[in-house]
Amino acid sequence: MMNRFRNTGLSPWMALAGTLLAGPVLAQNIPTPESVLGFVPGTDRKLVEWPVLVDYYRQLAAASPRVRFHELGKTTNGAPFVSLTITSEENMAHLEEIRQTNLRLADPRRITSAAERDRLLATGKTIVLITSSIHSTEVGGHLSPTIVAWRLATDNSPDTRAILDNTVLLLVPSLNPDGVTIVADWYNRTLGTPAEGSGPPELYHHYVGHDNNRDWYAFTQVETQLTIDSLHNFWHPQIVHDIHQQGQSGSRFFLPPFLDPVEPNIDPLIVEGFNTLGTYMAWELTGQGKKGIVNMATYDAWTPARAYQHHHAGVRVLSETASARLATPIDMPFERLRPGRGFDAKVSSVNFAEPWPGGHWTLADIVDYQSSGALALLKHAAFNRSVWLANFLRIGERAIAGFDGKWPYAIVIPADQENEAGLSTVLSIMVRGDVEVQRAEAGFTADGVEYPAGTYVIGLHQPYGSFAKALLERQDYPDLRQYPGGPPRPPYDVTAHTLPLLMGIDVAFVDQPFDARLSAPIARPDPVYRYPGVSGGGGARVGLYQSYQASMDEGWTRWILEQWDIPFSSVHDADVRTGGLRNRYDVIVIPDQSANGIRHGLSASTYPEEYAGGIGDEGVSALRDFVERGGTLVTFNNASRFAVETFDLPVKNVVEGLDAQEFFAPGTLFELDLTPHALTEHMPPTSTAWFQRSPAWEVTDSSAPITVVGHYPDDPDRVLQSGWVLHPERIAGKAALLEARVGEGRVVLFGFRPQYRAQSIATFPLFFNALTGRPGT
C-alpha cells in the first residue's frame, strides 16, 4: 500500500497543508480531471494515454483524505496497475478493521457467537469494487472513473456523505492499462484520416485482446491475477460493477437482470441481488432524464469466465453503454435503431420503459451514463448496507452448509495423473479461486472407492465451493429457443467450462460423507510447462502468422508458446507475400481466423497501406510453395477452411451451410477419438475437442494422401461431453484432425481449437507434436 503523499510531485509543504485542511473538504484544493488531462472528460475527439490518467489519480489521492492510491503491480507491458480506495476519512482511519469485519462476514466459520455476528453486521460496510476499461476500444471507460473519483473526493451532499460513510469503494480505473495507451495512440495518430474511430491493427491486450474478460477462472494473465489476489480475495466485495460499452444501434445502456441461463451453482441471493441493483439503477437514471435503458437483454449469466464474484458471494453488475466511434461522435437516427435480444430499441416494453429518440451520440453522453450509473449503484450500496451485509453472510452460511445440504459432499482428485501440467493447473486455479484444497494424509474410502494417501480433496462445505463445483462438473446447458419450436437462442459467450475435460484429468464427485485424515489447505502450486522435443528450442523453426485484423486466437497461441518456452517468430502479411518461406521456416501456424480475413485482411479504404490487404494472392502462392518444398502448415479451426481451399483438398465440411436448427454447437466440448500417429504421441486414445463455429470433415477421395488422425465418435450419444449441441449425429464419425500430404510437405488441419484460451491443456500435445516438423507415419 502506498502512502498517499508519496510520488505525488507535490512539495512537502503542500502535503502538510493537505493534512491541516482535514475536516470539511475544500473542493478548490482538489485537482479537477480537466486540470491534469487538459480537457473535460468526454470532450469530443480527446483521449489520453495511461500515464496521464495515473498522474491524475496520484494527484487526487495526494489532495484528498478520502482517496488512497495503490499500485498493485505491473501490467503485461510494464505499466502501473492501479486501484483507488475511496471512503470517508473516519473509515479510512479504520480501514483494516473494516476489512477484517468483512472477512468474517465472508466466512461464517470464523464467527464464534450470535453477539459477534450482530456486531459485525452492525459495524461492517458495503464493499464495492468498480472496474472499468477492460475493453480498451470502449473508451468512455478510460475517462468515467476520473469523474466518479473526483465527485466522491469533493462532493458534500447528503447522498455522497452516505456513500462515503457506508461503503468502501475499490476503484480500478482500468483493468487493461496497456490498452488505454494502445487505443489512445492509435486514435490520436489517425485523427482526421479515414481510419479515425477504427480499432487498432493489433490486440489491445498484448496476448488476449477482448478475451481479457474471459479469463476470470483460468487466471492466465497478470492483470487478472492482480485483480483476484489484491482486490477480490483481499476484500471480498459484496458488489462488483464492471463498466463496458456495446454497439451503436441498440439500447443506450444495459443493466441487469441478465438473460437466462444463470449458472446453476450461483446462489439465488446473488441473482436477486443483481436483479434488484440493476433495476434500481435504471429507475434512478430514468429519473435523471436518461433514455434508452434496457434490463434483461443480450447478456446472460452462464460462464464463470466473466463473473468470478458470482461464485464468491458477490453480485456482478455489468453496464454496457452504446458506443460512438471511439471518441468521435456519431449520428444515430431513430430509424436506424435495431432490435436486440430481449427488446426492440424502437418499442417501449416492461424491460425497456423509455426508448431513446435517436440523434447525436457522443463521448460526453457515454461518460455521463457510465458515471451516473456508478454513482447510483453506490447509493444503493450505501442506503441498503444492512441488507447487503445480511445477505452476504447468508450466502456464506448456505455455502458452508453445502448449499443447504443439496450438494455432493466432496470432490476427489487423484494425485497420480498422466497429465501433470493439467493437474497442477487445475489445483492452481482452485487455490487462486480461494478454494480450500486438502490432501489425504492416509488412505481412505469414499463412495466405495479406495483412494491412497496424497489424494486431493475439495470439501463442498466451504465458502467458495460453488467455484470448484461449477468448474469441475459437466455443463448441461438448457435447450433455449427464440420461441417455442424456433431456432436456438445462442449463449452470450460459450456453453462449457469443464476443467477436467479441458485439462485432461480425472476427478470424482462423492455424495456420501466419509472419514479421511486431511492436511491443512495446500499452497498454490506453480505449474511447470515443458514439452519434450520443442520446449527450450532445438525443434523446428516455427513461424506464427499474425494478422493486422488482430486475432485473439493468435494472441492465445503466442502466449502458450512463450509459457511452454517454445521458440517461434511472428510472421506478418508482408513476410508471407515476399515468399521464400521455406528458407526461413519448417512450420507455419495460422490460428483461428476466417479465410477471407487471412486473404484480404483490413480494408484499404479505412486503414493505412502498411496494415491493409491481408496476405493476398502472392501470399497464398507463397504458402503453397512453402508446403510443396517440405514445410508443415498448421491451421486451427476456421483457418482450416482456408487450407482446404488453398490446397484444393478433397474433403467436405459436413456442417457447412447448415442453419442453427440443423446443427448447433456454440462453444461445446466433444469427445475426440484419436488414431496412433506421430501427431498423437503423448495423447490418450480418447480426448476432448473444443468446438466453436468449427468444420467437421468427410474425406471425399479415399485415394488422396490424407490421414484422419482424430474424429468424433461414431455413436451420436457419445459426441457431447459438456455444454450444448443440437443434432450431434451430423458430425458423429466425422473427421476433426487431418494430415494432408502436399508435395514434399504437409498440412495439419485442426477442425477445432486445440489451444482454446490457453485452457485446453488436454490437446496441447496435438499442437506441439505438429511443431516438430516431422511428418506422420
Least separation in angstroms between residue 227's CB and Zn ion is 15
When the beta carbons of 262 and 318 are compared against Zn ion, the nearer one is 318
Residue 520 CB neighbours (<10 A): 8
Can you list the alpha helix ranges (DSSP code H) found in 594-638?
595-600, 616-628
Q: Is 632 helix (H, G, I), strand (E, B) or coil?
A: strand
- The contact pattern for Zn ion, residues 87-126, with x = CB under 5 A and - = no contact, is ----------------------------------------
Span interacting with Zn ion, options 78-86, 100-108, 133-141, 249-257, rule CB under 5 A? 133-141
- Find out whether the peptide bond into 484 is cis, omega within 30 degrees of 0: no
When the beta carbons of 254 and 467 are compared against Zn ion, the nearer one is 254
- Who's near 740: CB < 8 A, 6+ residues apart? 647, 649, 704, 705, 706, 707, 746, 747, 749
- Who's near 503: CB < 8 A, 6+ residues apart? 419, 421, 422, 423, 425, 426, 759, 760, 761, 762
**Judged by CB under 5 A, does residue 135 bind Zn ion?**
yes
Span interacting with Zn ion, options 189-197, 218-226, 243-251, 700-708, rule CB under 5 A? 243-251
- The contact pattern for Zn ion, residues 261-280, with x = CB under 5 A and - = no contact, is --------------------
Least separation in angstroms between residue 172's CB and Zn ion is 14
Least separation in angstroms between residue 207's CB and Zn ion is 17
Span interacting with Zn ion, options 128-136, 181-189, 480-488, 677-685, rule CB under 5 A? 128-136
- Who's near 407: CB < 8 A, 6+ residues apart? 460, 465, 469
Span interacting with Zn ion, options 173-181, 244-252, 339-347, 429-437, rule CB under 5 A? 244-252
Q: Report the phi/psi class of residue 707: left, alpha or beta, with left for phi > 0 and alpha for psi in -120 to 50.
A: beta
Span interacting with Zn ion, options 69-77, 120-128, 135-143, 502-510, rule CB under 5 A? 135-143
Least separation in angstroms between residue 244's CB and Zn ion is 3
When the beta carbons of 213 and 419 are compared against Zn ion, the nearer one is 213
Span interacting with Zn ion, options 114-122, 134-142, 384-392, 423-431, rule CB under 5 A? 134-142
User: Rounded CA gap, 749 and 77, in Å?
Assistant: 33
Least separation in angstroms between residue 249's CB and Zn ion is 16
When the beta carbons of 58 and 135 are compared against Zn ion, the nearer one is 135
Q: Which of 244, 252, 316, 746 binds Zn ion (CB under 5 A)?
A: 244
When the beta carbons of 244 and 312 are compared against Zn ion, the nearer one is 244
User: Rounded CA gap, 78 and 758, in Å?
Assistant: 22
362-381: contacts with Zn ion (CB under 5 A): none
| CA nearest to 318, candidates 382, 268, 370 | 370
What one-character-per-residue DSSP string does 295-313 give? ES-S-EE--TTS-GGGGTT
When the beta carbons of 142 and 244 are compared against Zn ion, the nearer one is 244
Least separation in angstroms between residue 176's CB and Zn ion is 10
385-444: contacts with Zn ion (CB under 5 A): none
Query: Please, are residues 504 and 761 in contact by the beta-carbon 8 Å criterion?
Result: yes
Size of the site for Zn ion (CB under 5 A): 2
Q: Is 263 helix (H, G, I), strand (E, B) or coil?
A: coil
Query: Please, are residues 174 and 135 in contact by the beta-carbon 8 Å criterion?
Result: no
**Judged by CB under 5 A, does residue 205 bind Zn ion?**
no
Least separation in angstroms between residue 298's CB and Zn ion is 12
Span interacting with Zn ion, options 240-248, 531-539, 712-720, 728-736, rule CB under 5 A? 240-248
- Who's near 238: CB < 8 A, 6+ residues apart? 126, 127, 128, 273, 313, 314, 315, 381, 388, 389, 392
When the beta carbons of 8 and 321 are compared against Zn ion, the nearer one is 321
Task: Give the containing element (helix H, strand E) for 73.
Answer: strand 67-74
User: Rounded CA gap, 166 and 160, in Å?
Assistant: 10
When the beta carbons of 150 and 186 are compared against Zn ion, the nearer one is 186
User: Rounded CA gap, 137 and 286, in Å?
Assistant: 26
When the beta carbons of 107 and 211 are compared against Zn ion, the nearer one is 211
Give, as one character, the DSSP assignment of residue 258. P
When the beta carbons of 108 and 256 are compared against Zn ion, the nearer one is 256
When the beta carbons of 148 and 518 are compared against Zn ion, the nearer one is 148
Q: Please, what is the end-to-end C-alpha distance for the chain in angstroms? A: 58
When the beta carbons of 244 and 439 are compared against Zn ion, the nearer one is 244
Least separation in angstroms between residue 198's CB and Zn ion is 17
Least separation in angstroms between residue 178's CB and Zn ion is 16
Task: Give the containing element (helix H, strand E) for 403.
Answer: helix 402-405
Least separation in angstroms between residue 139's CB and Zn ion is 11
Span interacting with Zn ion, options 107-115, 172-180, 242-250, 597-605, rule CB under 5 A? 242-250
Least separation in angstroms between residue 743's CB and Zn ion is 45
Burial of 764 (0-12, 13-18, 19+ CB in 10 A): buried
User: Rounded CA gap, 47 and 41, in Å?
Assistant: 9
**Judged by CB under 5 A, does residue 68 bind Zn ion?**
no
When the beta carbons of 244 and 469 are compared against Zn ion, the nearer one is 244
Least separation in angstroms between residue 150's CB and Zn ion is 24
Query: Please, are residues 301 and 263 in contact by the beta-carbon 8 Å criterion?
Result: yes
- Who's near 58: CB < 8 A, 6+ residues apart? 7, 8, 9, 69
Least separation in angstroms between residue 734's CB and Zn ion is 35
DSSP-derived pairing of the beta strands 569-571 and 508-510: unpaired
Least separation in angstroms between residue 196's CB and Zn ion is 21
Span interacting with Zn ion, options 236-244, 405-413, 526-534, 585-593, rule CB under 5 A? 236-244
- Find out whether the peptide bond into 500 is cis, omega within 30 degrees of 0: no
When the beta carbons of 58 and 244 are compared against Zn ion, the nearer one is 244
What are the beta bridge partners of residue 445? 450
- Who's near 420: CB < 8 A, 6+ residues apart? none
Span interacting with Zn ion, options 179-187, 241-249, 276-284, 433-441, rule CB under 5 A? 241-249
User: Rounded CA gap, 196 and 63, in Å?
Assistant: 37
- Find out whether the peptide bond into 257 is cis, omega within 30 degrees of 0: yes
When the beta carbons of 244 and 711 are compared against Zn ion, the nearer one is 244
When the beta carbons of 126 and 213 are compared against Zn ion, the nearer one is 213
Least separation in angstroms between residue 287's CB and Zn ion is 26
**Three cell numbers written together for 452:** 491412497
When the beta carbons of 50 and 647 are compared against Zn ion, the nearer one is 50
CA dihedral for 578, 584, 590, 591, sign (positive or negative): negative
Least separation in angstroms between residue 491's CB and Zn ion is 16
Query: Please, are residues 282 and 292 in contact by the beta-carbon 8 Å criterion?
Result: no
Least separation in angstroms between residue 415's CB and Zn ion is 40
Least separation in angstroms between residue 132's CB and Zn ion is 10
What are the beta bridge partners of residue 317? 241
Span interacting with Zn ion, options 96-104, 129-137, 195-203, 353-361, rule CB under 5 A? 129-137
Query: Please, are residues 1 and 61 in contact by the beta-carbon 8 Å criterion?
Result: no
When the beta carbons of 124 and 141 are compared against Zn ion, the nearer one is 141
User: Rounded CA gap, 375 and 389, in Å?
Assistant: 19
Span interacting with Zn ion, options 27-35, 112-120, 130-138, 357-365, rule CB under 5 A? 130-138
Span interacting with Zn ion, options 1-9, 127-135, 154-162, 490-498, rule CB under 5 A? 127-135
646-675: contacts with Zn ion (CB under 5 A): none
**Three cell numbers written together for 717:** 450419444
Q: Where do contacts with Zn ion occur on this chain (CB under 5 A)?
A: 135, 244
